Structure 1
Amino acid sequence: MRILHTSDWHLGRSFHREGMLTHQATYVDHLLEVVAAEQVDLVVVSGDVYDRALPPVDAVRLADDALVRLAHSRATVVVSSGNHDSAHRLGFSARLIDAAGVHLRTDPAGVGTPVVVHDEHGPVAVHAIPYLDPHAVAGPWSLPVRSHQVALDEAMTRVRADLAGRQGTRSVVLAHAFVAGAQPSDSERDISVGGVARVPTSVFDGIHYTALGHLHRPHAIDDRLRYSGSPLAYSFSEAGQRKGSWLVDLAADGSVRAELVEAPRPRALARLRGTLDDLLADPALAVHETAWVEATLTDTHRPAHAMDRLRRRFPHALLLGFEATRTPWGGLPASSSTGRRDHDVAHEFMTDLRGVAPTAAEVALLDRAIDCCADPGDRP
Structure 2
Amino acid sequence: MRLLHTSDWHLGRSFHREGMLGHQAAYVDHLLEVVESERVDVVVVAGDIYDRALPPVDAVRLADETLARLAASRAKVVLTSGNHDSAQRLGFSSRLIDAAGVFIRADASGVGTPVVLEDEHGPVAIHGLPYLDPDAVREPWGLPARSHQAALTEAMRRVRADLDARSGATRSVVLAHAFVAGAEPSDSERDISVGGVSLVPTSVFDDIDYVALGHLHGRHTLTESIRYSGSPLAYSFSEADQRKGSWLVELGAAGLASTTFVDAPVPRPLARLRGGLDELLADPRLAADEGSWVQVTLTDDVRPARAMERLRSRFPHTLVLAFEPTSGQRAGAPAARLQGRSDHDIALDFVAEMRGAPASDEESSLLRDAFDACCEDADVDTLLSEVER
TM-score > 0.5, shorter chain as reference: yes
SS at match of 2:319: strand
1:5-25 per-position Cα deviation (integer Å, ceiling 9, x unaligned): 000000000111111111111
Task: Tell me the distance in 2 between the aligned counterparts of 1:176 and 1:358.
Answer: 52
1:109 equivalent in structure 2: 109
Is residue 359 of structure 2 the alignment partner of residue 358 of structure 1?
yes
CA deviations over 1:211-245 (Å, ceiling 9, x no partner): 00000011211110000100001011111211111
What is the alpha-carbon distance in structure 2 between the residues aligned to residue 6 and residue 341 of structure 1?
59
Spell out the pairing of 1:328-367 with structure 2 (5 A cutoff). Answer: 328=330, 338=340, 341-367=342-368
Within 1, Cα distance between the matches of 2:9 and 2:20?
A: 11
Q: Match of 1:300? A: 301
1:240 to 2:253 alignment: no
Aligned counterparts of 2:135 and 2:362: Cα–Cα separation in 1 = 55
- Output aligned runs, 1:7-18, within 5 Å: 7-18=7-18
Cα RMSD, aligned residues only:
1.6
Change (3 A) 1:337 1:191: closer
Question: Is the 1:42–1:77 contact (alpha carbons within 8 Å) kept by the matching residues of 2?
Answer: yes
Answer whether contact 1:209 1:256 (CA < 8 A) is retained: no
CA contact (8 A) 2:149 2:201 kept: yes
How many Å separate the matches in 1 of 2:252 and 2:161? 23
Amino acid at match of 1:11: L
How far does residue 76 in structure 1 lie from its aligned partner after superposition?
1.3
Residues 337 and 345 of structure 1 are in contact (CA less than 8 Å); yes or no, is this contact kept in structure 2? no
Structure 1 residue 366 displacement after superposition = 1.9
In structure 2, the partner of 1:25 is: 25
> Cα distance, 1:75 vs. partner?
1.1
Deviations 1:164-209 (A, max 9, x none): 0112200000000000001211111110000001100000001000
Post-superposition shift, 1:370?
2.1
Structure 1 unmatched ranges of 5 or more: none
SS at match of 1:138: helix
Q: Is the partner of 1:309 in helix, strand or coil? A: helix
Q: Deviations over 1:114-161 (max 9, x none)?
A: 000000000000000000000011111111211100000000000000
Q: CA deviation at 1:302?
A: 1.3
Higher mean Cα deviation, 68-77 or 344-353? Answer: 344-353
* Structure 1 residues 64 and 376, CA gap change in structure 2 (3 angstroms): closer
Residues 178 and 199 in structure 1, CA contact (< 8 A), matched pair in contact too: yes
Distance in 2 (CA, whole Å) between partners of 1:14 and 1:319 is 14
Amino acid at match of 2:72: H
State the partner residue of 2:119: 119
Whole-Å Cα distance in 1 between the matches of residues 103 and 14 of structure 2?
27
The answer on 1:82 being equivalent to 2:82 is: yes
* 1:57 Cα deviation from its structure 2 partner: 0.6
* SS, match of residue 68 in structure 1: helix
Residue 118 of structure 2 aligns to a residue whose secondary structure is strand
Say if 2:173 is the partner of 1:172: yes
Q: Residue 35 of structure 1: SS of its match in structure 2?
A: helix
In 2, the alpha carbon distance for the partners of 1:337 and 1:214 equals 50
Q: Structure 2 CA distance, aligned partners of 1:297 and 1:267? A: 22
1:346 shift after superposition: 3.1
* CA deviations over 1:54-84 (Å, ceiling 9, x no partner): 0011110110111111111111110000000
Deviation at 1:330, TM superposition (A): 6.3
Offset of residue 319 of structure 1: 0.9
Tell which deviates more after alignment, 255-264 or 118-127.
255-264
Match runs of 1:200-211 below 5 Å = 200-211=201-212
Aligned residue pairs total 375
Task: Tell me whether 250-259 or 61-70 shows the greater mean CA deviation.
Answer: 250-259
Relative to 1, partners in 2 of residues 1:225 and 1:373: Cα closer, same or farther, differing over 3 Å? Answer: same
SS of the residue 2:69 aligns to: helix
Matches within 5 A, 1:158-237: 158-166=158-166, 167-237=168-238
Q: 1:35 touches 1:75 (CA, 8 Å); kept in 2?
A: yes
Q: CA deviation at 1:345?
A: 4.0
Mapped to 1, the partners of 2:135 and 2:161 lie a distance apart of 24
Equivalent residue of 1:140, what SS? helix
SS in 2 for 1:203: helix
Using the alignment, how far apart are the partners of 2:299 and 2:39 within structure 1?
A: 51
State TM-score, norm by structure 1.
Answer: 0.95
What SS does structure 1 have at the residue aligned with 2:255?
A: coil
How far off is 1:375 after superposition? 2.2
Equivalents in 1 of 2:336, 2:143: separation in Å? 55
1:198 maps to a residue whose letter is L
Q: Does the C-alpha gap of structure 1 residues 337 and 92 become closer, same or farther in structure 2, counting only changes over 3 Å?
A: closer
Letter of the 1:240 partner, please give it. Answer: D
Do structure 1's residue 136 and structure 2's residue 131 form an aligned pair? no
Specify whether residues 280 and 89 from structure 1 end up closer, same or farther in structure 2 by C-alpha distance, changes over 3 A only. Answer: same
Whole-angstrom CA distance in 2 between matches of 1:349 and 1:266: 41
CA displacement, residues 278-329 of structure 1 (integer Å, 9 cap, x when unaligned) = 1101111111111111000011121111111000000111111111234338
The gaps in structure 2 that reach 5 residues or longer are 382-389
Q: Is 2:249–2:256's contact at 8 Å kept on the other side of the alignment?
A: no
